[in-house]
Chain A
Amino acid sequence: MTTTTRSPQTGASPARKGGAKQASKAVRHRGALAFFLAPFGVLFALFYVIPIGYAVYQSTLVVERDGTFGAARQVFGGFSQYISVFENEAFWQSISRVMLFGVVQVPIMLGIALILALLLDSPLVRGTKFFRLAFFAPYAVPGVIAAIMWGFLYSPNLSPFTDLTRAVPFLSGEFVLWSIANVVTWVYVGYNMLIIYSALLAIPQEIYEAARLDGAGQVRIAWSIKIPLVVPALVLTGIFSIIGTLQLLAEPQVFRSFTSTVTSDFTPNLLIYSTASVPNVSLAAAMSVVLALATFILSFTVLKLTQKRTQA
């Protein structure tokens, strides 16, 4: 977006000066811009705009046929798939399930990430490089592998800690959501920590110096200077986490092979996946569009709310 708004400016201001040379330069600029933007534009269209457009188109179709095995026709059905989505209890249950997940898991994960980042940034801690790598390492494990590993750890018979897993039913109906939350936290805490840590590194040293001259200790500096200054990073990681939560798929999908308490409509994406396998692709497309809109609205609301607070 920024590049497209900038290009007319750079093109227009020299042109106003009137030189023919300048104008031709602007045209050449435009060519160069197009050249450099083309790869992005093509990929963006192929893998983003067209699939979304197709999903929206698909979501407006309904099937008609004569009898059971008559040739099926896909005809325009207006908003009828969307009405089905809004009437679909399982869909809204899955949304509220991941919302509950997010309300609990996201603050815990970001809280841990913030504490770890502050510890790494503290001059009192030694071995910073080692710990930075160690905290980040789980993120290098692919999500599916992490879920399989934790699945085995939780499993009542196959776990290396069967005494614990037989006593605490990690994979039971009540616990499984939080067992998944633990996996997600384990994977992403280091990633979020790194973003917050980078923000901490960008804080000018002079501010700390001033604080120290005023007699502030490390804890006071962390609380009154560091945390307020990394709020934008927290907002960013928060929004990423909300999007990730609404789109949970890999972890619950893997957990289905460890426990049947993860049903085929456990998260919105799992429900979309199983609806597509009926196959009822139009309904699945409509669900995807609604989920995308819900994600957008939620992220945007969080952004607006936090912006207001930081400005005030």
Chain B
Amino acid sequence: MAISRIARAGALAAAATLALTACSTGTGGDGASGDCAPSDGPVELDFTSWLPGIDEAVAIWNEENPDIQVNVQTGPNGLGGTYQNFFNQLEAGNAPDLGQIEYDAMPNFRVQDGLENIAACEGILEAESQFVDWTWSQVTFGEEDAVYAIPQDTGPMAMFYRADLFEAAGIEVPTTWEEYQAAAEVIRGEGGYITNFSQSDINQFAGFVWQTGGQWFSNDGDSWQVNLEGEESLMVAEYWQGLLENDLVSANPPWTDEWNAAFNNSEVWTWVSAVWGANTILSGAPDTAGNWAVAPMPQWEEGASAAGNWGGSTTAVLKGSEHPYEAAQFALWLNTDADALTAMNRTAQIYPATIEGANLPVFAEGVEFYGGQEIYQVFAEAGTNVDPNFVWGPTMTQVYNDVADGFSGAISGSGTLMDALTAGQQSTIAALQAASIPVQE
């Protein structure tokens, strides 16, 4: 009893200072401290990721480390199927040694006990200072002596827009959401859509809420509060509901050919997205090369500079890996080494989670597809304006699914985005209760 009370007190203290924390009875149970030793002899590691061109970065490692060879398996993006594969593989006890997991899914994997605590592995705890603060707190859950993954990239948001079309139509680049709506009306008059509302990938909407300073989850150390229908969320929902009702935004399902085609044939003019979205547009809309530019995200208040964050991944050592030491070394190398970070930026346009990485020459270069603009400067600036304390709940897969179902309904005319959030609020509380995770009703 005494031990658990102390642990609880410790957890409460952590909760007071850090965004994401556990009310678990302690950080033990994972047998972390002191048992992360190198394996004897050559080691082969499996690594599952959906980052385009990840094999190029891995090839650098394999050349330098003949005794630790990493095999890459690629898959669909996390919510598109890779997470489900991980959950199944973890259940079956044959998960890959390493997996790509986004920050928002970290609590979900932690709840399923799918992550190896690599804090005891050489050099991991010391690496903290290399990373942007908020990314590190996302992989430690605010626990002492715990590191559950190595941050890979961040997803500060900005606005991709068709500079050529805006100029031809004589529209000023919108700096506020009000101007954005006004621009949407003009663009609709020209036969286009200002953007596509991402109804089945809720992360973008979460990024919009993040920008306003809203929170979907919080944890007081004992239980979770779910707040999908908070003031900020409803404000954002009402704004997009208005655009949808006036047919000012298209509603193609994201990440599909139809959606790419809408960018490629100039039907859709802007996309408020994360830095890695640069890759999405340049691979999905090749005919529009040179015509895009990047500007900061529109603001709710004139003159403000708040930004949201969408995505960003980690490299996690999954539970059951026989070689956690080597896996941890690889994960650390992949996300801190200058060559690896440069390679991943070249193939996937991702923006690193390390402080040093952002100073690499590649991030000061102009990008041809974006008219030679130094787009990473815009995202670096946005990165400094992201609220570092956004909290993800422990069942995000379910939250995204349920809200997406509601949003889809709203688009085909049954209910509104606001109704979808209300329904999502209830189903999330039910899902937490079903998983016997303490939650306030």
A residues in contact (CB < 8 Å) with B:
62-72, 84, 152, 155-158, 172-174, 256-261, 263-265, 274, 276-281, 283
A71, A172, A259, A281: the one within 8 Å of B29 (CB): A71
Q: List 21 A-B contacts (CB under 8 A).
A: A63-B434, A63-B436, A67-B24, A68-B23, A68-B219, A68-B394, A68-B438, A69-B111, A157-B265, A158-B258, A172-B412, A173-B412, A257-B253, A276-B84, A277-B83, A277-B401, A279-B84, A279-B112, A280-B398, A280-B431, A283-B434
A67 touches B23 (CB 8 A): yes
A67 touches B438 (CB 8 A): yes
A63, A157, A281: the one within 8 Å of B262 (CB): A157
B253 touches A68 (CB 8 A): no
**Whole-angstrom CA separation of A68 from B251 in the bound complex:** 36
Stretch with Cβ within 8 A of A (4 or more), from B313-321, B375-383, B402-410: B402-410
B111 touches A72 (CB 8 A): yes
Q: Which range holds the interface residue count of chain B?
A: 35 or more
Query: A147 → chain B, closest Cβ, in Å?
Result: 14
Assuming the contacts A173-B413, A256-B253, A274-B401, asked whether A67 and B22 have C-beta atoms less than 8 A apart, the reply is yes
Residues of B5-38 at the interface with A, using a CB-CB cut-off of 8 Å, are 11, 22-25, 29
Assuming the contacts A158-B258, A277-B84, asked whether A71 and B405 have C-beta atoms less than 8 A apart, the reply is no
**Whole-angstrom CA separation of A264 from B427 in the bound complex:** 14
Minimal Cβ-Cβ distance residue in B for A265: B405
A279 touches B22 (CB 8 A): no
Query: A70 → chain B, closest Cβ, in Å?
Result: 4
Task: Provide the residues of chain A in CB contact with B200, threshold 8 Å.
Answer: 256, 260
**Whole-angstrom CA separation of A259 from B253 in the bound complex:** 6
B residues in contact (CB < 8 Å) with A:
11, 22-25, 29, 83-84, 87, 91, 107, 110-113, 141, 199-200, 219, 222, 224, 251, 253, 255-258, 261-262, 265, 267, 394-395, 397-398, 401-402, 404-405, 407-409, 411-414, 431, 434-438
**Whole-angstrom CA separation of A156 from B259 in the bound complex:** 11
Given contacts A156-B258, A279-B397, 4 further A-B contacts (CB under 8 A): A69-B23, A157-B265, A173-B412, A258-B253
**Of listed B255, B401, B404, residue having the most chain A CB within 10 A:** B401
Q: Would you call the interface of chain A mostly helix, strand, loop, or mixed? A: loop
**Whole-angstrom CA separation of A258 from B224 in the bound complex:** 36
A67 touches B25 (CB 8 A): yes
Task: Provide the residues of chain A in CB contact with B224, threshold 8 Å.
Answer: 68
A68 touches B395 (CB 8 A): no
B258 touches A69 (CB 8 A): no
B24 touches A70 (CB 8 A): yes
**Whole-angstrom CA separation of A277 from B200 in the bound complex:** 16
B435 touches A280 (CB 8 A): yes
**Whole-angstrom CA separation of A283 from B436 in the bound complex:** 13
**Whole-angstrom CA separation of A152 from B257 in the bound complex:** 9
Query: B27 → chain A, closest Cβ, in Å?
Result: 9
A69 touches B261 (CB 8 A): no
**Whole-angstrom CA separation of A84 from B311 in the bound complex:** 33
**Of listed A263, A265, A279, residue having the most chain B CB within 10 A:** A279
Task: Provide the residues of chain B in CB contact with A277, threshold 8 Å.
Answer: 83-84, 87, 397, 401
Give 5 nearest A-B pairs by CB, closest first. Answer: A173-B412, A67-B23, A263-B405, A277-B84, A69-B22
Minimal Cβ-Cβ distance residue in B for A277: B84
Query: B83 → chain A, closest Cβ, in Å?
Result: 7
Task: Provide the residues of chain A in CB contact with B267, threshold 8 Å.
Answer: 157
A72 touches B84 (CB 8 A): no
Minimal Cβ-Cβ distance residue in A for B405: A263
**Whole-angstrom CA separation of A58 from B165 in the bound complex:** 57
**Whole-angstrom CA separation of A158 from B265 in the bound complex:** 11
Minimal Cβ-Cβ distance residue in B for A262: B408
B398 touches A278 (CB 8 A): yes
Task: Provide the residues of chain A in CB contact with B91, threshold 8 Å.
Answer: 279, 281
Minimal Cβ-Cβ distance residue in A for B434: A280
Query: B278 → chain A, closest Cβ, in Å?
Result: 23
Query: B271 → chain A, closest Cβ, in Å?
Result: 17
Task: Provide the residues of chain B in CB contact with A71, threshold 8 Å.
Answer: 29, 113
B251 touches A69 (CB 8 A): no
